[in-house]
Amino acid sequence: MLSIILNGCFGRMGEELQKEIYNREDLNLVAGIDRTKQDAAFPVYQSLAEVNETADVVIDFSHESSIPHLVDQCVQKQLPVVIATTGLSEQKKQKLQEASRAIPLFYSANMSLGINVLIEALQKL
C-alpha cells in the first residue's frame, strides 16, 4: 500500500484527490498539509516539518509560493514528491531541478491526461 501526504489537501484538486485515494485499496492518505484547518479523516498540518506520519510520497496541489519550503522539507526528510502546482517561476523550477538530484521528484504544470499525451507526442515529433 502506498502511503501519501497530500499538500494542499483542502483545495479543489486536493479534495478531488482525496476522493480518488479513498476509492483505491492500494493507496492510503496518512496526512494532509493545508493553511486552513478543517475536519478530516486524517491528521492535517500547516507544514511538512510538523508531519510525523511515515509516507512513501508527497503529492502537491497547492500554491506556487509554498513550493520552495515544501521541496526543502522533502529533501530534508528524503521524501519523493509530485509537484502539480502551476505558475512556477524559472527560479522555482531551478530549485526543483536541484532537488531532483537528491530525491525523486516529478513536476507537471498540468496533470490533465490530454495535455500530457500532447506533450509526449510533441516531444517524439
pLDDT digits 0-9 by tens, 48-79:
999 999 999 999 999 999 999 999 999 999 99
Per-residue pLDDT at 125: 46
Residue 54 CA, chain-centre distance (Å), reads 15
Cell of 25: 485499496
Identify the CA nearest to 69 among candidates 45, 94, 95: 95
Distance CA 67, CA 83 (A): 8
- DSSP H or E stretch at residue 111: none
Domains of the chain with bracketed CATH = 2-124 (3.40.50.720)
Is the pLDDT score of 83 beyond 90? Answer: yes
Tell me the pTM.
0.88
Mean pLDDT of 96-107: 96
Per-residue pLDDT at 117: 57
Question: Percentage of the chain with pLDDT > 70?
Answer: 89
